[in-house]
Every structure is written in structure tokens, then in C-alpha cells.
Amino acid sequence: MPTIVSHSSSRSDLRISTIGKEMAVWESEFPPPELRLPSLAITSPSGYSESPAYRRRLILRRIGQIGSSFALAMTTAMALAAALMLGGCAWQPAELPPGQVEVPTRAVAPQTSLGDRAAEIALQQVGTPYRYGGQTPSGFDCSGLVHYAYGQAGRSVPRTTGALWSRTRPVPRDQLRTGDLLFFSIDGKMQHVGLYVGDGRFAHAPSSGRTVTVESLSADFYRQAFLRGGRLH
């Protein structure tokens, strides 16, 4: 009986090989786009010749760029998570409303003023988790952040919010300077402090489950909760 040889297998192998070559050519001509996030680096040919206010604006601008870059990705991820959830969503509001998340890293120029240095150091801690009693980059509470920022800037200040209130002289809102402290009433009593970084904004460690962030003093919550500014003697 004559032997029947099937060529179907060889034809399939040839077709697969041809498709593979065509895909390789396509990928070489149309490579997938890369996701690039804005750099946090702040470079300048003049080193520290810029004013402190200019450097802070650069840091805050990086914060806005990072927020814009992640906004679309976060919106997509949240929508997908919501679609996959089978049960209800349990949410417990934090003590303070959420703000922005930014992680600038910047060396501090020694020739700047004490308040400018403290503000820059506080901005460098953005993204650090809140930790009750914390006063190091592993975690901060509100007064711990102020204590650390001023300590690193070269001045020892009180550790608690109440002691900081007593150590500072009152400053009206329209006379705030970079490095001044901001005191807020939470639940009817003074128990929160932030560090003014200029341009109507301040850095602070909000509450448990949150991170060090930058907020606007004009936001409804903080505008209503604001008690006074304070300048260290």
C-alpha cells in the first residue's frame, strides 16, 4: 500500500514562522510607548544662587507635575477596583481632609534664613507616614514634624503643640512668613500645628493613616479651623 504523507503540519509551521516574522517587523517599526514620570530632580547651573522662595516654588511645581502624571492612572485603577468589589465600601473619615502627595528631595542651602531652611526640610518629608509620637523620617506627628524641621535647620524647639503655642508670638494671617507655625482647632480645641512654606500653603502631618502633605490655607476646612500664626521668639 502506498504511504500517504501529510503536509498539513509543515504548512502550519511555515505559517506560524511567517506570522512571527511579521510581528517582529511591526514591533520594530511601531514600538510601544513608554510611560515617563516627571523627574523630581531640581537642577540649576547656579547652584544655590536662587532665592529660597524660588526653590520652594520649584519643589511645589514638581508636586503638581507628579499629581497630574498619576491622575489618569489612578482614576482607571479605582474604576476597575470598584467594578470588581462584591460588597459595600466601608470608609471612615480621617481626622483631617486629604491633600496632595509629593516627595521632593532637596539639599538645604546654609545661607538661607532659619524659617526658609525649616520650610525646605519640612517639604522634603512629604510622603512620610503619620506616626503618633513620631519625630523622625520614619514617621511624624504634627508637632514632631515641626520639631524635626527646625532641629535640622539648626534650632531646638518644643516638642508638643501646646508648648509650641506658648513659645511663639501671635502673627496675623496677612503677615505670615515662611517658617511661621500655623495652629488649628480640631474638635473644638487647639490640637494641630503646621509649618508655613509660603504662597498660602503649609506642610503638616495630618492624622493616622495619612502622610506628610502640603495644603492650602485657603481650603474651607483649614480656613475655618485656623486659629492663628505663630513666630518663634
Residues belonging to the active site: 142, 192, 204
Cα separation of the two ends of the chain: 110
Other residues' Cβ atoms within 10 Å of the Cβ of residue 144: 22
Grid coordinates in use for 210? 495619612
The dihedral through the CA atoms of 48, 54, 175, 164 has a sign that is negative
Backbone angles phi, psi at 6, to 5 degrees: -90, 135
Residue 35 CA, distance from chain mean position: 20
Tell me the C-alpha distance between 199 and 149, whole Å. 19
